[in-house]
Each structure stands twice: as structure tokens, then as C-alpha cells.
Amino acid sequence: MIEIQTRPATEESVTPLKLSEALRLGAMSTEQWFGEMTDGHGRYCAMGTISHAIGIDDGDMRYFPSTFLTPARDELRLDDGCCRQTLFYQLWMQIAHLNDFHRLPRERIADLLEEAGL
Ligand SMILES: [Zn+2]
């Protein structure tokens, strides 16, 4: 017989992964994709990678993390003109832009998210 012990949940044990952590984790086991969340064969854009890493099924990727809908962050603007001039309303638009337009590696996008405290 197996005895299972439980402990009260601490804040640390229930805090979800940060976006940067989820992106790094997912990038370790998947390949990058561009232009859509997933190619359906194990490749994911940055947003798809985050969603996949936190357990959102490929078929449910329209239910992505609510953090994606928070306001755009200056930390995610590259200093190259286009990111400075483009109007981004929400965080997901910047993540998609960095992935699809700049084709930044997901690890680099994770660095930028981390710098933004995300
Ligand atoms: Zn840009």
C-alpha cells in the first residue's frame, strides 16, 4: 500500500509559471513556428509555446493566458524603429511581432519578458 502525504499549499507551490519561464521551458522541447500558434506537428510560435508549456491543449489555444491581454510593455520594444513606431495595444501583439516579424529566437523573447518582470 502506498501512503501519500499532503502538505498545505504554500504561495510558492500555487504560483503559476511566469511567461518567461513557460517560454524557456516550452522552447526546450519544441521547435519554433511562425505566423500561427502551432503547425499542429509540435512546432509553436512564442505564444503557442507558452500556452503549450502551461498545459493548454493545441485545440484550445484560443484560450491563451490572460496575461497576454495586459497592456504592451516598453521592455518588449526593440530599439530599431519599427517596434518604437508600431502601436501595440496588448502584450500578445508584441510577442507575436517579435516572433513573426523579427523572428527572434524564443529564448531571446523570454529574456525580454524576464526584463519586464513577466
Ligand atoms: Zn519591431
The one-character DSSP state at 61 is: T
* DSSP class of 44: E
**Given this model, what pLDDT does residue 3 score?**
72
Query: Which string of DSSP letters, residue by residue, matches 21-43?
Result: HHHHHHHHHSEE--SSSB-SSSE
pLDDT tens-place values along the chain, 118 residues long: 667 666 666 655 556 789 999 999 999 999 999 999 999 999 999 999 999 998 888 877 777 788 899 999 999 999 888 998 889 999 999 999 999 999 999 999 999 999 999 9
Check if the beta carbon of residue 92 is closer than 8 Å to that of residue 47.
yes
42: left (phi over 0), alpha (psi -120 to 50) or beta: left
Ligand 1 (ion): residues with CB under 5 Å are 82-83
pLDDT given at position 7: 65
Three cell numbers at 42? 509540435
Query: How many residues are given for the chain?
Result: 118
pTM for this model (two decimals): 0.84
Q: What's the 94 CA to ligand 1 centre distance in angstroms?
A: 8
Ligand 1 centroid distance, CA of 74 (Å)? 12
